[in-house]
Amino acid sequence: EAGVTQSPTHLIKTRGQQVTLRCSPISGHTSVYWYQQALGLGLQFLLWYDEGEERNRGNFPPRFSGRQFPNYSSELNVNALELEDSALYLCASSLWGQGIDEQFFGPGTRLTVL
């Protein structure tokens, strides 16, 4: 069974640009989560989507946004990039709708903002 997939694997952008990261969950999983892992800060929760709706949001500014598509894949958009947005962005999926809340992570997208 294929795991969570993310694209691209690496990305380099400059300050002020916009970026879109993509995630495909494990087949059958309806919940998708986004986390940021910046150097020295640990993993921080960004967003949770389930059945196409945003269910919860972490303490991040509105320039971090996303959506979930009918096939349960998701994208994370970051506008007006800042240097401190450089991080590993991890997507996870779960079977929350079936009462199973273990989250499984994809390999991540490493974003560098110059």
Partner 1 sequence: RKEVEQDPGPFNVPEGATVAFNCTYSNSASQSFFWYRQDCRKEPKLLMSVYSSGNEDGRFTAQLNRASQYISLLIRDSKLSDSATYLCVVNGGGGAQKLVFGQGTRLTINP
Q: Which residues bind partner 1 (CB under 8 A)?
A: 31, 33, 35, 42-43, 45, 48, 50, 55-56, 58, 88, 90, 92, 94, 96, 101-108
Give the shortest CB-48-to-partner 1 separation in angstroms: 5
Cα separations (Å) of 1 from 5, 7, 12, 28? Answer: 12, 18, 31, 11
DSSP 34-79: EEEEETTTEEEEEEEEETTEEEEE-S--TTEEEEE-TTS-EEEEE-
Give the shortest CB-16-to-partner 1 separation in angstroms: 27
Give the shortest CB-50-to-partner 1 separation in angstroms: 8
